[in-house]
Structures are given as C-alpha cells and as structure tokens.
Structure 1
Amino acid sequence: MKNKYMPTAISLYLNYFVHGMGVIILAQNMVALSKQWNTNTGGVAIVISSLGIGRLIPLLISGILSDKFGRKPFVILGASTYLLFFAGVLLSPSITIAYIFGILAGMANSFLDSGTYPALMEMFPDSKGTANVIIKAFVSGGQFILPLLISMIVSLNLWYGWSFILCIAILILNLLFMVTVGKFPKIVNEQNESSDKQDSLVQKNKNLGSLWIDGTLFILYGYVSQATFYLVSQWLSQFGSEVAQMGNTSSHALISYYSIGSIVCVFVTAALAKKAVKEIQFLITYTLISFIALLTMYLFPTALICSIMSFVVGFSAAGGVMQLGLTVMSSFFPKAKGTITGAFYTAGSIASFTIPLFTGMMSSNLANIWLFDVIIALLGFVLAVLITLRYRKIFGKI
C-alpha cells in the first residue's frame, strides 16, 4: 500500500470491473434491447459479435503506440470509448447503429489492454504477475455483480437502462480521477537520468528474447490459452447435459463452479507470489493442470467428475494464466511491453473468432469437441515447456 501508484492502480482495476459488466451487458438485457431495436434475440447476438471485431482492429497498433506515447493516453482513450458504447447502446434505434457502438466497445477493450497491462508491470516491477492477474478478479467481479443488479431491476420493474447508467457513472468518475490525479511511471527511454545511469537502465531493460523463437512461442501460447478456456466457457453446460447426462440445473451449475475456480485462482496466485513463486512456475503448472482436468472429464464424464473438474479447469485455465503468460513474455521483451501486449492479445482475439468455426463443424458430437479442447490444452503444455526451457537458457535458474 506504500506504493505511490496504488491509487492509480485501483482506478485501472475499476475500469476492468466495468469492462466485466460491458462484456455481458448486451446478453443480460437481450429482451429489452431486441424490442428497442425492433429485432429478435438473434439480432442482439449479431451486435454482441461486433465486440470481438472491434477488439481485433486496433490491438496491435495501439500496443506499439503505447510504447511510443505512454500508457495514460490509452487508458483515458479506452475509458472514453467505453463511455460512447454504453451511451450509444441506450440511444441506438436499430441494430445497425448498435453494431457500430459494439465495435467501439471492442476497441475500448484493446485501448485499455494496451495501456493498463504495461502500466501495472511498470508500477509493480517486483510483483508484475500478481498485478496483472488481479485484473481477472475485477473482470469476474463485474460479471458476477451485473446479473444480480439486473435481476433486482427486473423484479422492481425498473427501466433496463439503469445498469448502463451505473457503468457510465463509474467511468466518468474514474476518468476525472485519471485525468486530474492519475500518476504513471515514465517509460525507461523517457526518464531524465544522468547519461551513465540512463545507459545502465537501457542495458537492464534491453530485449533478451529472440523475436522469431520466443516471440512465436508466446504468440502461439496466447492463441492456445485463450482457445482452451473460451471453448470450455461456450460448451461446458452442453457437455454436462449431453455427455455426462446431467440435469438442466446441474449442467448450468458447472459454469458457476468454473467461475468460482477462476476467482479462487487469483487469490491463490497472489498468495504464492508473495512467497517468491515465479510467474514461469505458475505458467507450466497451471497449463499442466488444465490439460489433466480436461482429459479426466473426457475419459470419465460423470456428474461428480464434471463438477469437480469444472472448478479445476476454471482455476487453471481461466484464473489468469493468460495474464501470467503476458507477464513472462514481458521479461523476454522488457522494452516493448505495449507492443507485446498487443501481439499477445491479438492472438487471443483470433482464437475467439476461429474456435467457434472449428467447434461449429463438430457440434453434432460434443465428445469430439471436448477431445479437441484436450488436444489444444496438451499443445499449451508443450508450449509452456518450451517457454520454460527458453527461460532457463536466458535467465538461468528458475
């Protein structure tokens, strides 16, 4: 708490609390929005898909520009763009206009990522992994709170837009703080140090990894780690219902176990990080656990096994392993934190587009979809092993 950047860090986390709400707010208000836009729930689903497109458009270039111009402008730009999304959806008379604002929401997410992840790593250089993983807790918190809020709004017969207004209010207050008070560390090449000290800093922060070897490994890991938990989040309930022969309520409860696991992982990771457990150790351990858990569900699809392993998969695959992967990547490329953030999450965004295409072709056999995820998780573990070997070669002991 003595860190002078702590107030700014809390503000950064609050942006992701709102982002957590923003990711699901259209789906949670699907009936009301379909009436407003004179369409059906399928039309609203089309608008929801625009968030993924918007996220992919600026991600890589915004990361590069974040390294050049600093983190704060992109955090402010992300929060401002999210404001346009929440206000625009409320005012949109059709799905065409709403689709445009949905694209803005995806772009806002990219802008926030490009500024926030590098900023947190620079604010907390001795606990970068923990700082980044906590983002996941705030996203999950927003996704947990919003359904409860909307249930209350519905039960009180209030206007659906109050959920959007809450997000707008938090963002406005957060923006005012960020613009007037928020403090960010200077990027190394912007520091006004003496020439000797500056040379030392540059040497200390030079890129140590190979762009082609390590860069390729991490880009592939970004794709695979996103694909692993994205596939689970989309098909877990159906797998429980059709393959494990669970009832409707029990199969939907699997998602709850999965979400609880992801939140628990954040706190476990933070606690272990204080005991000097390194990010690279988390990376290979969590990736192995997720592979074993998915394989166990595939081989023994019973109600009990699925319930337990849903928690385990949420813990190991959705509890911040992507953030840990990015943190490890930043140690290989410390002078390009914004650029690598953009590249890493671009790979994840591509996974979000392509995985539904692959699984859609296998939708007639859910067991095959799960086997596909097992293979992806195995590939993730192989990549984690290769990254660990490269880490040991460059940095020595793990």
Structure 2
Amino acid sequence: MSTKKYIPTAMALYFIYFIHGIGVSILGQYKQNFAGVWGASKLEDGTFDVSVVLAVIAALGLGRLITLPFAGPLSDKFGRRLSGLIGIALYIFYFVGIVFSPNMYVAYAFALMGGAANSFLDTCITPSILEIFTKNGKVANMFTKFSISIGQFVLPFVIGFVATTQMSFKTIFFVTGALLVITAILIAIMPFPPMNNTTGSEPVKKEKMKFNATSIAVIAIGFTCTSTFQLWLNCNQELGKMYGLADPTKIQTLYALGSMTAVLVTAVLINKKILKAVQVLAVYPTISAIMLLVIYFVETPAITLIGGFVLGFAAAGGVLQLAVATANEMFPTNKGKITSIIMIASSIANYVILNIAGMITKAGGVQGPKYVLLFNVGITVVGILIALFVNKQFANQDNKVKAQLPNAI
C-alpha cells in the first residue's frame, strides 16, 4: 500500500485535532465570561464562581462517555470517514450553540454534543493515522497531540487579537465552526486507507478481544493521565492569579509549548530507542507529580509559568496517545473498539474528576486551586504505580521472548 496518496487525508485529520485543541481549551480561558452570562454568583474577591463553567466543561467528558461505546463499533463497521463526518457535524453544533446558551443548562446540552463529537473524531482519526503510517504508528499518533497543542498554543494569541480589536469573544467560536465546515468537505472526498491495515498489505482477519491485567492497566492509564492534564488545564488560571501572576494566559501558552516540545523530543527518543513507549507512560507522570508538588509549596508567579511548560511537556505531551497506540498494538484488528475503550476511561476522568474539582474549588473558596493541586498529585501517583506494573509486564514478556530465541535457533 502506498502511503503517499493518504498524506493529504492525514493532514486534514491532524487539522481537525488542531481545531479540537482550541475547543478543549477555550471554555477554560473564558470561564469568567461564561460564568457571568450563565448567572453565576460572585465570590468575596469580586470574581464569578466558575464552578458552573467547570460543570459544563465536565459535560464534554460525559458526552464522550455516552457515545464512545457506539462510536468505536460504528467506525470499525461502517468506516472511518462516516465516524469523522458525524464528529465534525456535532462539533459545529457545539461551537455555535455554546455561545448562544443563555444559562448553564442549555450550555450543558451543547457541551454533551461537543463531547460526542470528540468520541466520533477519536475513533476516526486515531485508527486512520495508525492505518496510514503502518511502520511508525506510535510516533504518528503522537502528532495528533502535537496538532492539539498547536491549537492550544495559538489560542491565547487569538484571544489577545480579539480583545485588542474589540471583537466579541464569540468570534473565535464562529470562525472555528466555519473551518470545520471546510474540513468536512475535505474528509468527504479524500481517500482513506483499508481498515485494520497493520502491515501495509491486505487487511488482517478480525479476532475476538481478550483482556488481561496488562491491557486493563493500559486502559486505566487513559483515566489517570487525562486527570493530570485536565485538572491543570482547567484550574491553572485561578492558581496563577492567586500566586500574583499578572497575565495568567501565559500559563496556557507555555503549557502548549511544552506539549509540542514533548511530542518532538519523545518522537526522537522512541525512534532512536533511547526510551520505549511503555517507559514514557511511567517517566512522564513521575515528572508531573514532582512538578505539581513544587508548585504547591513554591507560591511564586514564576513557578506557575515553569509549571505550565513542564506539565505541558510531561502531562500533556503524548502520554494518552502512547497509551492508545500501545493498546492498538495489543488489539490490531479492533482499533476502533480499543480506541473507544481507552477514550471511555479518559472521558470518565474528564467528567468525574472535573466535577470533583468543581466541588473542591467551591468548598475551598479562594484556596480551592491549591486543594485541586493536591488532588491532582494523588491521581497522578496512582497513574505512576499502574504504569510501573505495565512496564514490569512488558519486561517479563520481552524476557520470555529472549529466552525462547536459542531454542528457536
């Protein structure tokens, strides 16, 4: 199979994740605006209680959770293209609908659509990328995260431009919706590779999915690694203000820069076999946990900026994508389904963990963001322990293979 004819398709798929990078971050950047529109109460310092916005952001995870059980099988049965088009259509409804929402309940409904969009896009894009780049699937899939990070990196500059030109913040939502319409046309006409292609030749025969402790642990990493970066992504602005940072949006910029850097660095480390993908699943969360503790104890504006970059690198630099790629290798003929399962774990994290974060923020008042940091440390440490188990299982498997080689000769 020639990969070249599918390169434009891959670029279009990566572009969708660029838009997704904006979509997954933009509510977090405009929490005060939306909280005011949706009638949130004010805190002692005069700012709005953003817990209502965190609840709507969490609905993105619920929307994914509801639809992922259907999105994966649909992608495997009817094709990646249909799954992608459904996802784009739902995302357009989300971007346009959220800005017209008069209260959090209507916004919640549109956020559910946004989450559903994410699930259909995940089960289109990840399998398609793995089927296009059969020889470097793990690295290619990491570049979906790179695309998301570019969107997150660009967003603060776009927000600044919109503010400087005195345009409504709603402009960003409308422009992204229009870009998705164009992308939908491209996805509708561009070629897609054969489904379940793993070798570059003929699609292989499907097999029944059989789970063991290792595969379940990899799925659990989808939960823990998502918790780490989502808690930071949606709570860092308030933390920056608490620590006296004049422009908290800089945290988002450095976070995105860190995640982009991580994708490039990790791609080199994996290609040169300095680190295995499965080792990254343990090393990067360890870095995240250490950084979160440093931020908790060192209350300075500079540490939030440093933390933004380090957590962008270690928490959001492709750990989820590597977990998905690792799971896809374990289930090569059920890529849509296993992608769905990993993303279900990720969605549960997005919904449950962010709802808990909202409660912690509300109960903690002005100290809420610091309590969220401690909560994040606990979740991240659990992820490290799970990743260490996965590494041990992979090492045992490698040792068994090596032990059989002399006999094979």
TM-score bucket (shorter structure)? 0.7 to 0.9
1:32 shift after superposition: 7.4
Structure 1 residues 277-330: Cα deviation after superposition (integer angstroms, max 9, x where no partner):
532232232233223333444566666665544432221111111111111111
Is 2:222–2:320's contact at 8 Å kept on the other side of the alignment? yes
Tell me which amino acid in the other structure corresponds to 1:288. T
* 103-112 or 81-90, which deviates more: 81-90
* Residue matched to 1:381: 384
Tell me which amino acid in the other structure corresponds to 2:393. R
Tell me which amino acid in the other structure corresponds to 2:15. L
* 9-18 or 250-259, which deviates more: 250-259
1:240 shift after superposition: 5.9
* Residue matched to 1:278: 276
Q: 1:206 to 1:104 in 2, by over 3 A?
A: same
Q: Helix, strand or coil for the counterpart of 1:126? A: coil
Structure 1 residues 104-131: Cα deviation after superposition (integer angstroms, max 9, x where no partner):
1111011101111111111112222222
* 313-322 or 97-106, which deviates more: 97-106
Residue 264 in 1 paired to residue 264 in 2? no
* Residue matched to 2:183: 174
Q: What is the TM-score normalised by the length of structure 1?
A: 0.82
1:180 shift after superposition: 1.3
1:101 to 91, 101, 110: 110
Mapping for residues 83-122 of structure 1, pairs under 5 Å:
83-89=92-98, 96-122=105-131
Q: 1:381 to 1:94 in 2, by over 3 A?
A: closer
Q: 1:5 to 1:392 in 2, by over 3 A?
A: farther
* Residue matched to 2:13: 12
Q: Helix, strand or coil for the counterpart of 1:103? A: helix
* Residue matched to 2:221: 221
Is 1:70–1:187's contact at 8 Å kept on the other side of the alignment? no
Is 2:58–2:351's contact at 8 Å kept on the other side of the alignment? no
Gaps of 5+ in 1: none
Residue 132 in 1 paired to residue 165 in 2? no
Q: 1:68 to 1:389 in 2, by over 3 A?
A: farther
1:346 to 341, 344, 353: 344
Q: Helix, strand or coil for the counterpart of 1:185? A: coil
Structure 1 residues 340-387: Cα deviation after superposition (integer angstroms, max 9, x where no partner):
111111111111222245443473576554343333222212211211
Q: Helix, strand or coil for the counterpart of 1:293? A: helix
* Residue matched to 1:165: 174
Following the alignment from structure 1 to structure 2, what is the Cα–Cα distance between the partners of residues 159 and 236?
24
Following the alignment from structure 1 to structure 2, what is the Cα–Cα distance between the partners of residues 309 and 46?
25
* 166-175 or 341-350, which deviates more: 166-175
Percent of pairs identical after alignment?
A: 33
Q: 1:158 to 1:297 in 2, by over 3 A?
A: closer
Residue 372 in 1 paired to residue 368 in 2? no
1:394 shift after superposition: 3.6
* Residue matched to 1:249: 246
Is 1:72–1:184's contact at 8 Å kept on the other side of the alignment? no
Is 2:60–2:351's contact at 8 Å kept on the other side of the alignment? no
Q: 1:212 to 1:281 in 2, by over 3 A?
A: closer
RMSD of the alignment, in Å? 3.5
Q: Helix, strand or coil for the counterpart of 1:183? A: coil
Q: 1:386 to 1:151 in 2, by over 3 A?
A: same
Following the alignment from structure 2 to structure 1, what is the Cα–Cα distance between the partners of residues 286 and 231?
17
Is 1:71–1:184's contact at 8 Å kept on the other side of the alignment? no
Following the alignment from structure 1 to structure 2, what is the Cα–Cα distance between the partners of residues 306 and 158?
29
Following the alignment from structure 2 to structure 1, what is the Cα–Cα distance between the partners of residues 374 and 312?
17
Q: 1:231 to 1:91 in 2, by over 3 A?
A: closer
Structure 1 residues 147-186: Cα deviation after superposition (integer angstroms, max 9, x where no partner):
4334333433445543233223321221111111232333
* Residue matched to 2:329: 331
Q: 1:213 to 1:238 in 2, by over 3 A?
A: same
Structure 1 residues 26-79: Cα deviation after superposition (integer angstroms, max 9, x where no partner):
5656787789x7856767666544323222210122113222222221011111
Is 1:127–1:273's contact at 8 Å kept on the other side of the alignment? no
Q: 1:154 to 1:9 in 2, by over 3 A?
A: same
Is 2:153–2:253's contact at 8 Å kept on the other side of the alignment? no
Is 1:254–1:310's contact at 8 Å kept on the other side of the alignment? yes
1:11 shift after superposition: 0.3
Q: Helix, strand or coil for the counterpart of 1:186? A: coil
Tell me which amino acid in the other structure corresponds to 2:385. V
Tell me which amino acid in the other structure corresponds to 1:319. G
Following the alignment from structure 2 to structure 1, what is the Cα–Cα distance between the partners of residues 63 and 164?
33
Following the alignment from structure 1 to structure 2, what is the Cα–Cα distance between the partners of residues 371 and 52?
22
Is 2:79–2:195's contact at 8 Å kept on the other side of the alignment? yes
Tell me which amino acid in the other structure corresponds to 1:280. V
Q: 1:82 to 1:300 in 2, by over 3 A?
A: closer
* 283-292 or 112-121, which deviates more: 283-292
* Residue matched to 1:312: 310
Q: 1:257 to 1:44 in 2, by over 3 A?
A: closer
Q: Helix, strand or coil for the counterpart of 2:246? A: helix
